[in-house]
């Protein structure tokens, strides 16, 4: 098949494109309220996107309504705010649910968001068997790499398995889970570890489901398991990793369950960890290179691909960045003509040898996790990822890994000026207030008795260990909200999961950092609902190796909770990470609380995705130092922390 350039008609949504495109082009999108995100969806579809990939904001992912105190400053920031079925209906306005393929990056609240999607389909008269898409529904990686877990591990395993079973029985063309390797690689895993962790998780889920299903239903379940993988910059190992994914999964299904010819099905996003704040223009090249490994092999090509914005290290992508990501895929799909050829690596001794090596190691890892069980697997993976992360950082700082613009060939290029366009802080606050007012109106106008009845049924199902999906659907139809669904399950299970403060990972690589001249106590924590903890882990280990006493103030904390820990522990420095765009709100609250407690001697430092324009505003508030992805050399970061902390001793 020859993939010719589709021409201007196709760019505007016309039909001049190949009869069979080799993969689904997606763009990960969602921000603000449902109406704003819907406009972005329609624009991306008009520009040639073929499937939706919905980003939900952190309150939605963590099971909070938009008026929850801990959600303040984060509503609609890193994704779209969705509480009830009418939000979902507005999000998908003008989109044919029977024709579109919709991927939802949602995990702990996956049963709820899928229920809202199904209710909207019902109201539009679209039969569930016409729906095609994916709920990510993978909690294992949330505990160790991404942080949006809500329930206890055994409860999460149960809910994930229930959603898989429900979809196989009721929504047969829906992918009920994406077992994710992606996030492990973002947190330091190598190719074999990425595959092994993802497949170990899939095996544990299938083992949990097997006793509940008849043989035919179980076979169908095995065939519906899908994956979400990463693609990095190291071309040859990444090509072999993708081929190992495709090779090993059918082998495992045949060997462990006696089910032959299972297709490995996967979506992919390229590696965000490689994208730098320095010389952001280079990320355009990195993204294009990283897209190659997952589409080059005819026998190992992903089903769907999405590419990030090239200024991701500075903020969420604007429309222009998303359009560039679309065009990058379109050039790859239509102009390179790669789909004309068979498997170009078949018979290569280098490729096939490394593929087998990765597959063998991944099989061992998967079986070890399966033997350990779900809860113990979380501990194993967390420790291994921390070690790998610190090892990579040490190699980067020693120059053993070259990252252009970071530890070599530095200096600005100057082709790209400025940063992504950010909404005014006042406008963001007004939008959040309007969103909360809409939710209040919704609660006032719905049938409260129907909501109460559905919640009671959900709590009974949760407590008894029964299937929660019938009650979840009843609550969605009645007009319940994501916060109410979550609270009902919290009450009927074992409450919210509190992650370990920080895995010790005693064998971590030693980092080259300066030593403190005097005793220093530093409290580190995550404010708000963002759960990415890699930077906090690295800084904690670096500060310990510098001789500081490190207190972990907790993750997903309010400003008041972080201040309380800092004061109780008599810390001289409070370090707060925020990746979801709420840094100005958080900083203002912490500074005010420190002032109220006569504790202005505690130096506040902040890190995260913080636009350059906000540095001066944070300094004016009283923040002593600001760190962003640009500050990637821990020796320099620790030096700046010491410069802030040591004068406090004098």
Least confident window among 65-79, 232-246, 249-263:
65-79
pLDDT above 50 (res 159): yes
Is residue 647 packed enough to be buried (19+ CB in 10 Å), middle (13-18) or exposed (0-12)?
Answer: exposed
pLDDT digits (tens, 9 = 90+) for 275-290: 998 999 999 999 999 9
Distance CA 14, CA 47 (A): 10
Q: Mean pLDDT throughout 158-187?
A: 96
Q: What is the pLDDT of residue 193?
A: 98
pLDDT above 90 (res 199): yes
pLDDT above 70 (res 498): yes
* Token pair listed for 25: 């082009």
Q: What is the pLDDT of residue 318?
A: 83
Q: Mean pLDDT throughout 70-99?
A: 95
* Token pair listed for 399: 């120059």
Across the chain, mean pLDDT equals 91
pLDDT above 60 (res 507): no
pLDDT band, very low/low/confident/very high, at 53 (cuts 50, 70, 90): very high
Q: What is the pLDDT of residue 10?
A: 39
Q: List the strands of the sheet with 178-180, edge to edge.
A: 174-175, 132-135, 101-105, 51-55, 24-29, 304-306, 266-270, 226-231, 178-180
pLDDT band, very low/low/confident/very high, at 40 (cuts 50, 70, 90): very high
Q: Where are the beta strands (DSSP E) in 535-645?
A: 549-557, 573-578, 603-608, 625-627
pLDDT band, very low/low/confident/very high, at 510 (cuts 50, 70, 90): confident
pLDDT above 90 (res 316): no
pLDDT band, very low/low/confident/very high, at 20 (cuts 50, 70, 90): confident
Q: What is the pLDDT of residue 315?
A: 73
Q: What is the pLDDT of residue 421?
A: 55
Give residue for tokens 């603000």.
32
pLDDT above 80 (res 13): no
pLDDT digits (tens, 9 = 90+) for 345-376: 999 999 999 999 999 999 999 999 999 999 99
Give residue for tokens 């790499």.
145
pLDDT band, very low/low/confident/very high, at 44 (cuts 50, 70, 90): very high
Q: What is the pLDDT of residue 1?
A: 33
Phi/psi region, residue 48 (left: phi>0; alpha: psi -120 to 50; beta: rest), is left
Q: What is the pLDDT of residue 419?
A: 61
Q: Mean pLDDT throughout 316-331?
A: 91
pLDDT above 50 (res 15): no
pLDDT above 60 (res 296): yes
Q: What is the pLDDT of residue 19?
A: 53
pLDDT band, very low/low/confident/very high, at 582 (cuts 50, 70, 90): confident
Q: Exposure pattern of 401-436 as b/e (b: 16+ CB <10 Å)?
A: eebebbbeeeeeeeeeeeebebeeeeebbebbeebb
Q: What is the pLDDT of residue 313?
A: 77
């Amino acid at each position: 098949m020859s993939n010719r350039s589709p021409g201007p008609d196709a760019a505007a949504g016309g039909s001049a494109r190949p009869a069979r495109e080799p993969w689904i082009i997606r763009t990960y999108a969602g921000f603000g309220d449902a109406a704003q995100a819907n406009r972005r969806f329609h624009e991306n579809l008009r520009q040639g996107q073929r499937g939706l990939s919905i980003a939900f904001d952190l309150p939605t992912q963590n099971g909070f309504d938009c008026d929850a105190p801990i959600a303040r400053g984060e509503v609609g920031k890193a994704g779209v705010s969705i509480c009830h079925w009418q939000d979902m209906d507005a999000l998908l306005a003008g989109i044919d649910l029977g024709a579109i393929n919709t991927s939802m990056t949602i995990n702990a609240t996956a049963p709820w968001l899928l229920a809202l999607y199904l209710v909207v389909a019902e109201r539009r008269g679209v039969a569930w068997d016409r729906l095609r898409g994916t709920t990510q529904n993978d909690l294992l990686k949330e505990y160790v790499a991404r942080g949006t877990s809500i329930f206890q591990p055994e409860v999460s395993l149960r809910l994930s398995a229930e959603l898989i079973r429900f979809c196989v029985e009721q929504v047969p063309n829906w992918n009920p889970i994406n077992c994710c390797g992606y996030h492990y690689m973002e947190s330091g895993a190598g190719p074999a570890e990425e595959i092994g962790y993802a497949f170990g998780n899939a095996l544990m889920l299938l083992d949990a489901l097997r006793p509940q299903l008849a043989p035919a239903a179980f076979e169908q379940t095995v065939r519906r398991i899908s994956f979400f993988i990463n693609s990095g910059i190291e071309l040859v190992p990444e090509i072999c990793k993708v081929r190992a994914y495709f090779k090993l999964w059918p082998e495992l299904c045949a060997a462990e369950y006696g089910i032959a010819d299972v297709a490995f099905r996967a979506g992919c996003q390229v590696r965000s960890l490689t994208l730098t704040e320095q010389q952001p223009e280079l990320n355009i090249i990195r993204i294009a290179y990283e897209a190659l490994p997952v589409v080059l092999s005819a026998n190992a090509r992903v089903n769907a691909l999405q590419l990030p914005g090239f200024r991701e290290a500075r903020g969420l992508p604007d429309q222009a960045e998303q359009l560039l990501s679309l065009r990058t895929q379109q050039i790859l799909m239509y102009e390179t003509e790669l789909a004309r050829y068979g498997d170009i690596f078949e018979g290569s001794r280098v490729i096939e040898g490394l593929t087998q090596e990765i597959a063998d190691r991944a099989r061992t890892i998967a079986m070890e996790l399966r033997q350990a069980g779900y809860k113990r697997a979380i501990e194993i993976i967390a420790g291994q990822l921390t070690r790998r992360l610190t090892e990579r950082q040490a190699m980067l700082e020693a120059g053993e890994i070259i990252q252009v613009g970071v530890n070599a060939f530095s200096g600005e290029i100057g082709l790209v000026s400025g940063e992504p366009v950010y909404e005014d802080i006042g406008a963001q606050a007004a939008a959040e207030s309007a969103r909360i007012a809409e939710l209040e109106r919704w609660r006032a106008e719905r049938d409260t008795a129907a909501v109460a009845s559905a919640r009671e049924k959900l709590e009974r199902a949760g407590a008894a260990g029964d299937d929660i999906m019938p009650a979840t659907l009843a609550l969605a139809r009645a007009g319940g909200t994501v916060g109410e669904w979550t609270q009902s399950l919290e009450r009927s299970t074992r409450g919210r999961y509190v992650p370990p403060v920080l895995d010790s990972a005693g064998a971590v690589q030693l980092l080259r950092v300066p030593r403190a001249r005097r005793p220093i106590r530093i409290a580190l924590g995550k404010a708000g609902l963002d759960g990415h903890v890699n930077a906090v882990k690295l800084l904690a280990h670096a500060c310990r190796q510098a001789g500081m006493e490190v207190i972990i103030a907790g993750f997903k904390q309010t400003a008041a909770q972080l201040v309380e820990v800092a004061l109780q522990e008599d810390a001289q420095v409070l370090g707060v990470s925020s990746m979801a765009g709420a840094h100005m709100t958080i900083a203002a609250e912490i500074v005010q609380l420190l002032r109220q407690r006569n504790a202005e001697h505690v130096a506040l430092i902040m890190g995260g995705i913080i636009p350059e324009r906000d540095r001066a505003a944070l300094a004016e508030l009283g923040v002593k130092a600001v760190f962003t992805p640009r500050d990637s050399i821990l020796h320099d970061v620790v030096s700046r922390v010491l410069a802030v902390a040591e004068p406090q001793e004098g």
